[in-house]
Structure 1
Amino acid sequence: MAPPTPPPDAAIAHAAERGLLTSRLDHTIDRDTFSPALLGLLNNVLVWGGSRVLTTLHGVGTNEWRVLSALGNYPGATARELCAVLGINKSIASKSVNALVEAAYVGQVDGRRGSRHLFLTDAGAALHDELMTIALRRVEILQHRLSPAEVGELNRLLRKMLDSADDLQEYERELLAGIPQPDTTRSEPNGVPAR
């Protein structure tokens, strides 16, 4: 990605008059070598593009597709189990499940202690298959510059990073210990919950 165009001299002069910093900081993150920045950028490309396409063509977004995909693998999963499998928070799961139930793509069956087991309907399975075709083609395009060995290595490394998620969250808990936390359920990036 190309860096932003430098602002015109007049804008820099006006910013300096207002006491704003106009020079690059001495210590910054190199976004071309900082893995979280690269992963975040790639995630945004996937989520926003995918959501635009899926919403326009089928009336469902990326989160609904994730739920359909998970239920294709785990019929009868509860919303809580979907949160764990997909790494999304309860509010995102609830909103997506409700939209899919309302559209008759998912049905619910009562379980023990008030739990609800979720299953695809025939219409949900058909939608799953249509969306899977799009998802697989998007990944094929995204990975076409990688060899099969590189794709395998990339996935291995990503799984290895995910194995460190608990360590990262422990560090975050230590940083925030004793500090009152605001309710961030609505503003968490991509609905990712704290573990």
Structure 2
Amino acid sequence: MTKRAKEIDERAAAMGLVVEPLPYTIDRDTYTPALLALLSNLLVWGGSRVFYHLHGIGTNEWRIVSALGNHPGSTAAELCEVLGINKSIASKSVNALLSRGFIEQLGGPRGSRYLYLTPEGNILHDELMPIALRRQEILHESLDADEVAQLNRLLVRMLDSIDSMQQYEHDMLGTKPR
């Protein structure tokens, strides 16, 4: 962390602020949620900078485009499920992509809106795909093929625990699952 002048710590202590490390804390390098969040934040931030520089979209929009490449005709709710994002992020990203002409929505029964890539969205997908894959290659550089496969298996297994995690969160909040 930053090296600060002793006088700053003395002023902080005089104000009753905590100036010494707490005895019981989370170590970032051994706490899986922190490691995953740090890695995710770095990937999202870097991806957004590159994608925005090249095409004026961020990582969330790229994720929608990529998901629609795999699941054409998905609803926003289905994309939220596939991508693990909340409705407000999906709505903002879908609206940005609609306004840029990268996706189109078709109305269906009971007000459903089905989302598809436009020809421009298909081009966008194909131009960003090699960048996304190269970023993955760089991420895997320090791992051999067996380690990459093992990592992916472990991450998928961790994703399988999400229902239990969400139940725990509902229990802590005193809410009911949807």
**TM (normalized to structure 1)?**
0.87
Give the 5 Å matches for 1:1-195: 4-177=1-174
Q: Per-residue deviation at 1:21?
A: 1.1
The structure carrying a bigger helix percent of its residues is 2
Counterpart CA distance in 2 for 1:174 and 1:116 is 33
CA–CA separation in structure 1 for the residues paired with 2:17 and 2:89? 38
Superposed CA deviations along residues 116-156 of structure 1, whole A, max 9, x for unmatched, are 11111111001001111111111111111100110111111
Mapped to 2, the partners of 1:174 and 1:94 lie a distance apart of 28
- Give 2:66's aligned amino acid: S
**Count of residues in correspondence between the two structures:** 177
Higher relative contact order (CA 8 A, sep 6+): 1
| CA distance in structure 1 between the aligned counterparts of 2:22 and 2:114, rounded to whole angstroms | 52
Sequence identity of aligned pairs in percent? 60
1:5 is displaced (CA, Å) by 3.0
Two-structure CA RMSD over aligned residues (Å): 1.3
